[in-house]
Structure 1
Amino acid sequence: MADRGPPAPAYGADGHPRLLQSHPRAQHRRGVRPVRRTGDERRELAAHPARPRRPGGGGGLFLVRFAARPPAAPLALPRRRRRGRQPHRPHVLRRGDRLPRRLRRHLPLALVQRGRQRHLDRHRPDGDRQLPGAQEDGRHPRREPELSDTGPLSWTVDAAAAGARFDRHVAAHLDLPRNQVQKWIHGGLARLNGVAARPSTALAAGDRIDCTPPERREERVRPEAGDLALLYEDDDLAVLDKPAGLTVHPGAGRTTGTLAHLLLARYPEMAGVGGAGRPGIVHRLDQGTSGVLVAARTPTAHTRLARAFAGREVEKHYLALVYGEPSRPEGLIDAPIGRHATRRKEMTVRPDGRPARTGWHTRAAAAGIALVELDLFTGRTHQIRVHLKHIGHPLVGDPVYGEARWKSLPRPVQAPLRDFPRPALHAWKLAFRHPGTGALLRCEAPVPADLRELWEAVTRTPWVNTDSR
């Protein structure tokens, strides 16, 4: 351009290369970026005498260098969450399982299981459970009084609790859930200085709190008339043959028509024996299982029988119809059992489960099924059903742990196996020491007709003689 004048020389008087200055209105295009000089170059430029500026010249020196554009940094995409829910692999805590942040720092809560099922897999290090009704010194533990037994409660707020919420303070003072305390406050059972207050009311030192806990509702089981198949009875206990389909005690979805109701109708003294809602019940059988069951009539008999069952001093023998024929005539299943990782109502064999041992002996086998005698050395939940599935011979008719193997059998035997309405399991024999006399008591429940008919319909042979082994 004519108005720019002659170009400046490439080198200065001192022999150093002269850095050219761009036009004042020069525009930086793509591929042009500021120069970042090293420390030596910056010091050399600072020592170089400044050139005189032309009239109307631009601003200060701005160094540029033509170079390729640097590669763009990768986008920070959100990390994709791993699917499949594999709790055994290290990973960040899943949103549905993690505890509140203020509780995650406390080590005593490290073993709290998800779903608030804190009772699962609770056992001693040696794998055995605590004997009920006894402490280390052998004395019966003292019953702690219920909160409703203490009557109205009153106390004064001290200076340390000043500023706390009304509901939080009452919950901490009585060691109760805060939502339960809030119901009491809304119902007028908890008052502040004699008047109703909001749960969020801030407390002050010297405030008076009056709390009247509601009366505890007793889980009473009312007697219901019905027939009981008794195998043995005396003043201390009763041994009976529980039919299949009868629930042992009230529970989820079952409030009437249980064995506990029938026992109270025959033995009214059982009302104060055992736990709440389980009068006289020492052990239990699944609803679909038939066979021998023991009930205590006195508190002393209940305590001693419960210790015998917990201490594995009771011999338990079962009969079962399973799919397939075991490869050996007898064996021992030693596999720990614990709660299923995803199906929380089911049990399964898992390495961190509670010790479980089941002995088995094949009585007979024909037409794709086998009659197996089982000896229980432990008493885990669903132990027989889980162990038989574990060795590949599930129970016939088991809706939870069974398999539809009848589909692979000949057509004439499919219908009886498919339509069998319950797990083909029978509590056959029970042997234990009498809680009063100490004599060995052996009880046997006859094999129910439905198991006999199933065996005969499938195998086309008479029922096996179970009197001799």
Structure 2
Amino acid sequence: METMEYNIQSNDAGQRIDKVLASFDDDWSRSQIQSWIKDGSVKVNGETVKTNYKVSEGDEVVITVPEPEELDAVPEPMDLDIYYEDQDVIVVNKPRGMVVHPAPGHPGGTLVNGLLYHCKDLSGINGVLRPGIVHRIDMDTSGLLMVAKNDMAHEKLVKQLQEKTVTRKYVAIVHGVIPHDVGTIDAPLGRDPKDRQRMTVVDNGRHAVTHFKVLERFTDYTFVECILETGRTHQIRVHMKYIGYPLAGDPKYGPRKTLDIDGQALHAQVLGFIHPRTEEYLEFKAPMPEELTRLLEFLRKSN
């Protein structure tokens, strides 16, 4: 079991404890938190509480998280779009709508379930629920991911991410017409104090840098390439909204009136890294999914 401690800050005071705790980790659902509270795995100031308990500033919350069951990540046969594979690394093109690893609410049908069936040997650094997972992309973002098949590869790939030497280029359709051809967004990201399910630009957030280049302009939209220097949660989605050009179709950060697409119009198109064993630079490019291609054709005809 894992024990975690939190001190409630002023911006969370007065909210239900299940809502506050669910915002602390993307993999915790509110229903999961509620079950932990009911079975006594959550204590506030040393005492058990009810799910409707409203937290106060300074409350000390201790969560004893039960060990995840291995059944949460069982092998499942699925048709994976694999771009590269050897004894150390797999590069896979994740489709839109697929979750990367099991979590409450998504126990199966994830990329990890398919990878476990496909190769049966993934690095164990991130535990039974995230074997081999070095980095993630959102459920409704398509594109390329690198996955480690052993701990040596995992450690070296993570180091490259930390040292910002991995090439990660995305393409996206955003609202509005960006007037300048290139730009850099350097703005720290953290939890939105008003809504902990969202990320936002905050002064004390984690360093985050996104470079962008305009590929094509339309009447009310722009097709852009975004290059990640860092890889924070929802980074491109939040950064583009921050400068006034939110992603089309984004249910969390974009406007309600948008293009006909289920989820953000974002695709991880190019992935490049140094192979952890051979030290050779490898780079891969995945074509845009049909939905994005269809939207671009629509915009060109409407221009």
TM-score by length of 1: 0.51
Displacement of 1:459 in angstroms is 2.2
- The within-5 A match list for 1:364-403 is 364-403=216-255
Displacement of 1:426 in angstroms is 0.3
1:430 is matched with 271
**Are the aligned partners of 1:318 and 1:429 in contact in 2 as well (CA < 8 Å)?**
yes
Displacement of 1:328 in angstroms is 0.8
Runs of 5+ consecutive residues of structure 2 not aligned to the other structure: 1-9, 26-45, 49-65
Runs of 5+ consecutive residues of structure 1 not aligned to the other structure: 1-86, 89-93, 98-113, 121-176, 180-214, 407-416, 463-469
Equivalents in 2 of 1:286, 1:421: separation in Å? 13
Displacement of 1:461 in angstroms is 7.6
1:330 is matched with 182
- The within-5 A match list for 1:239-388 is 239-270=91-122, 272=124, 274-388=126-240
Equivalents in 2 of 1:396, 1:247: separation in Å? 20
- The within-5 A match list for 1:29-40 is none
More contact order relative to length (CA 8 Å, sep ≥ 6)? 2
Bigger proportion of residues as strand: 2
SS state of the match for residue 210, structure 2?
strand
**RMSD of equivalent CA atoms:** 2.6
1:421 is matched with 262
Deviations 1:397-427 (A, max 9, x none): 0000001354xxxxxxxxxx1x311200000
1:445 paired to 2:297: no
Q: 1:351 to 1:261 in 2, by over 3 A?
A: same
Q: 1:350 to 1:300 in 2, by over 3 A?
A: same
SS state of the match for residue 454, structure 1?
helix
TM-score by length of 2: 0.77
**Are the aligned partners of 1:358 and 1:374 in contact in 2 as well (CA < 8 Å)?**
yes
**Are the aligned partners of 2:168 and 2:227 in contact in 1 as well (CA < 8 Å)?**
yes
SS state of the match for residue 295, structure 1?
strand
Equivalents in 2 of 1:380, 1:231: separation in Å? 25
Equivalents in 1 of 2:13, 2:135: separation in Å? 39
Displacement of 1:364 in angstroms is 0.5
1:404 paired to 2:256: yes
Displacement of 1:271 in angstroms is 7.0
Q: 1:275 to 1:371 in 2, by over 3 A?
A: same
**Are the aligned partners of 1:273 and 1:297 in contact in 2 as well (CA < 8 Å)?**
no
Equivalents in 2 of 1:358, 1:95: separation in Å? 33
Equivalents in 2 of 1:405, 1:322: separation in Å? 12
Equivalents in 2 of 1:443, 1:437: separation in Å? 17
Displacement of 1:312 in angstroms is 1.6
Opposite residue 225 of structure 1, the aligned amino acid is P
Equivalents in 1 of 2:151, 2:131: separation in Å? 10
Deviations 1:227-284 (A, max 9, x none): 0101111111110111000000011211011000000001112274532311111111
**Are the aligned partners of 1:270 and 1:279 in contact in 2 as well (CA < 8 Å)?**
yes
Equivalents in 1 of 2:21, 2:250: separation in Å? 28
Q: 1:228 to 1:320 in 2, by over 3 A?
A: same
SS state of the match for residue 345, structure 1?
strand
SS state of the match for residue 121, structure 2?
helix
Deviations 1:115-138 (A, max 9, x none): 468968xxxxxxxxxxxxxxxxxx
Identity %: 41
Opposite residue 280 of structure 2, the aligned amino acid is A
Structure 1 residue runs of 4 or more that deviate by more than 4 Å after TM superposition: 116-120
Deviations 1:16-48 (A, max 9, x none): xxxxxxxxxxxxxxxxxxxxxxxxxxxxxxxxx
SS state of the match for residue 403, structure 1?
coil
Displacement of 1:454 in angstroms is 0.7
**Are the aligned partners of 2:142 and 2:266 in contact in 1 as well (CA < 8 Å)?**
yes
Asked which structure has the greater CA Rg, the reply is 1
**Are the aligned partners of 1:260 and 1:279 in contact in 2 as well (CA < 8 Å)?**
yes
1:59 is matched with none
Opposite residue 121 of structure 2, the aligned amino acid is E
Equivalents in 1 of 2:222, 2:67: separation in Å? 51
**Are the aligned partners of 1:322 and 1:396 in contact in 2 as well (CA < 8 Å)?**
yes
